[in-house]
Amino acid sequence: MKYRRLEHRFMQYIPRLLEPGVLYISIEFATAAHKCCCGCDEHIVTPLTSHDWSLTFDGETVSLWPSIGNWNYACRSHYIIKRNRVVEARPWRDDEITAGRQKDRLAKSEFYEVNREENELIGDWGSNLHI
């Protein structure tokens, strides 16, 4: 890993040009982005949702979970961001990548199915709510 530590910056919008070694975080748009920590210059975007990545801010540092696996890029780097430190993780085999992608697709499918069913249960009744 070229970058072993990231500076975090909370911003409304993620800038087009990302500085290396910086983790940009937009709470408003529930997104974090940074340049790949291996130094390959790829832009890494991590949506912050219940079925993607979660961000923890302890008042001084940030952590992202789960790990970041850049399987679509030539570098295939794999790391965790924990308390602003970049912790290199072991490379995954192709079968592990395939299994991980299937698990992610299933989790998203289940998440959206549950939300669809909840919205159907509310139906027209929900349109009468005034908050």
Strand 62-69 versus strand 78-82 pairing type: antiparallel
pLDDT score, position 110 = 81
The reply to whether 19 and 38 lie within a common domain is yes
The reply to whether 72 and 98 lie within a common domain is no
What is the pTM for the complete model shown? Answer: 0.81
Confidence of residue 131 (pLDDT cuts 50, 70, 90): very low
pLDDT score, position 111 = 75
The reply to whether 20 and 53 lie within a common domain is yes
Question: Residue 129: inside a domain, yes or no?
Answer: no
- The number of CA neighbours under 13 Å toward the Cβ of 113 is 6
Task: Answer whether residue 24 shows pLDDT above 60.
Answer: yes
Calpha distance 35→17 (Å, rounded): 10
Q: What is the mean pLDDT of residues 13-36?
A: 97
Of 5 and 117, the structure prediction assigns the larger pLDDT to: 5
Instruction: For residue 29, give Cα distances in angstroms to 11, 50, 74, 122.
Output: 10, 14, 28, 26
Q: What is the mean pLDDT of residues 64-88?
A: 96
Number of domain units in the chain: 2
Strand 31-35 versus strand 22-26 pairing type: antiparallel
* Residue-range definition of the domain harbouring residue 100: 93-123
Tokens 């909840």: give the residue: 118
